[in-house]
């Protein structure tokens, strides 16, 4: 089967880029499943029900989040009602929402998605490796589900790479989010799991990781915080990956970086 996973959508620029380009990508690449990280979609901080519905109307099957999941107060109640919206699985027990779920595609395929948040240079949460181990014990790739996506929303590249090897052979794709810069290490690991350290963001790259440069520069150069970060509003680039898998095993046969629109050099996978 074929899946597309798009990185962190940042503000209106990111939303507009996804709205513009995702229908074309769907028509050209014909994916069975589409996931999007939406944790920065609402003005750079969190996501709302309205934005979720906009993504779903575009054909998105699952929206993941991350450390900004609770920045919009409505998410606390909305995530309980919306099984297609996930938060990191390694939040403490009793946290609203789910960190993993199984989805059925339009063609009847079963896709299991689990998201965790890293702990290096991030707020302390439960062990992400133990959380992934617990979630992967619930399903079996190639038997109970056709595709397994593991998202590690983390700062450190070492932690993301470690998660790739931890889940190698047990997941179809391990992808990193959060850093907002696409890495050049898309590969299939030795036991058959596709991996990319960070998908990059869907947003304006004439920015400081999606934000208008003025306030970040103020904080870096003068150590003064005078305003809230605001998303850059130029033309956005859609970034992510496309993954094809072996129908018998669910392991990856192909991973291709995906970049379209905006300032970055395009990378649009061939349809076959």
Residues belonging to the active site = 68
User: In angstroms, what CA-CA distances link 268 with 7, 76, 181, 242?
Assistant: 15, 36, 17, 9
Cα four-point dihedral sign 180, 36, 112, 173: negative
- Whether residue 242 contacts residue 175, with contact meaning beta carbons closer than 8 Å, is answered with no
Rg of the Cα trace of the chain?
Answer: 17
Q: What is the DSSP letter of 226?
A: -
CB atoms within 10 A of CB 191: 12
* Tokens, residue 263: 């300032």
CA-CA distance, 124 to 147, in Å (whole number)? 29
* Tokens, residue 103: 């989805």
- Whether residue 95 contacts residue 115, with contact meaning beta carbons closer than 8 Å, is answered with no
CA within 13 Å, CB half, 185: 15
């Amino acid at each position: 089967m074929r899946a597309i996973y798009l990185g962190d959508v940042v503000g209106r620029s990111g939303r507009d880029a996804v709205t513009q380009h995702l229908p074309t990508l769907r028509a050209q690449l014909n994916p069975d499943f589409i996931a999007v990280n939406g944790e920065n979609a609402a003005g750079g901080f969190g996501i709302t029900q309205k934005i979720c519905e906009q993504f779903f109307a575009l054909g998105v099957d699952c929206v993941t989040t991350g450390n900004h999941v609770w920045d919009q107060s409505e998410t606390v109640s909305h995530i309980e009602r919306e099984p297609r919206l996930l938060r990191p699985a390694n939040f403490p027990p009793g946290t609203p929402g789910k960190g993993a779920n199984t989805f059925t595609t339009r063609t009847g395929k079963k896709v299991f998605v689990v998201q965790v948040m890293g702990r290096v240079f991030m707020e302390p949460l439960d062990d992400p490796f133990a959380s992934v181990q617990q979630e992967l014990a619930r399903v079996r790739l190639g038997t109970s589900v056709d595709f397994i996506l593991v998202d590690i929303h983390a700062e450190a590249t070492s932690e993301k790479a470690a998660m790739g090897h931890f889940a190698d052979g047990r997941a179809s794709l391990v992808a990193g989010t959060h850093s907002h810069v696409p890495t050049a290490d898309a590969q299939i690991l030795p036991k058959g799991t596709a991996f990319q350290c960070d998908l990059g963001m869907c947003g304006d790259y004439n920015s400081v990781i999606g934000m208008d440069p003025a306030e970040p520069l103020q904080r870096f150069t003068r150590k003064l915080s005078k305003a809230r970060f605001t998303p850059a509003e130029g033309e956005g680039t859609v970034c992510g990956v496309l993954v094809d898998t072996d129908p018998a095993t669910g392991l990856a046969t192909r991973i291709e970086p995906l970049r379209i629109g905006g300032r970055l050099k395009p990378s649009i996978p061939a349809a076959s």
